[in-house]
Amino acid sequence: MNIKTIIFSALCIAALTLGASAQDRYGQRPPVVLSPDLTAPWVTQLRQNGTAHGAGTVVRQRRTISRQTVNRRQNARVASVRTSRTRQAPKMNPVYLPQIVDYPTGQKPGTIVIDTPNRFLYLVLGNGKARRYGVGVGKPGFEWAGTHRVTRKAEWPDWRPPAQMIAREKKKGRILPTYMPGGPANPMGARALYLGSTLYRIHGTNQPWTIGAAVSSGCIRMRNEDVVDLYERVGNGTKVIVI
């Protein structure tokens, strides 16, 4: 073997060695795997900072806060409604609800007797019985007694306060209208029975809790349900005795 052959063989061997070395240098290497002991503290810290779960955690937290706010507002509304309900006007004493009672009297059936001190209106039925209703009567200084007849009946009557009442209430700082058409807001209520030529009436009221009290300027007031019932049972000319 001559010198040229030896040199060529040496160059080939060197080229093969370099190629293998290059493949080892630029070939795919296995992935780097971190030990759980190294990664765990970082993950724990990220979770404590609230960032380990990403934007989803923040959104859920916001939604939770939003729901809590809505719940607080809803609870506040419910409490407000309950409070307003507890502040409503007191209910009428059930003793003043209509009922049939014993009522011995010499008055003819169909006669109305109003017992002012006890706040009852009796519709005489005969045979010692009467239909009794609770009423509101004139406040102190406005009581009266007498015998009259029903001279007119009206459904949903209008209200024309007397001049004396307008002047009297004005001194108290309350301005009354000179006229108010009939309707649910009208203090005359659903029905009215006018008594003779007086300014007094038996009428309904939109304030049923006042039944059983001395609250009016002389008129006899009843629950709307009760005055409607009485209205259907009596006619013009009915005798009314106020005691």
**Catalytic residue numbers, as ranges:** 203, 219
110 with 238: CB under 8 angstroms? yes
Q: How many CA atoms lie within 13 A of 135 on its CB side?
A: 29
52 with 43: CB under 8 angstroms? yes
**Concatenated DSSP letters of 13-62:** HHHHHHHHHHHHHHS--PPP---HHHHHHHHHHHHHTT-TTTHHHHHHHH
Which of 179, 180, 176 minimizes the C-alpha distance to 168? Answer: 176
Q: Structure tokens of 108?
A: 């003819």
- Collapsed DSSP state (helix, strand, coil) of residue 8: helix
- Cα distance between residue 62 and residue 186, in whole Å: 53
Which of 118, 88, 120, 80 minimizes the C-alpha distance to 221? Answer: 120
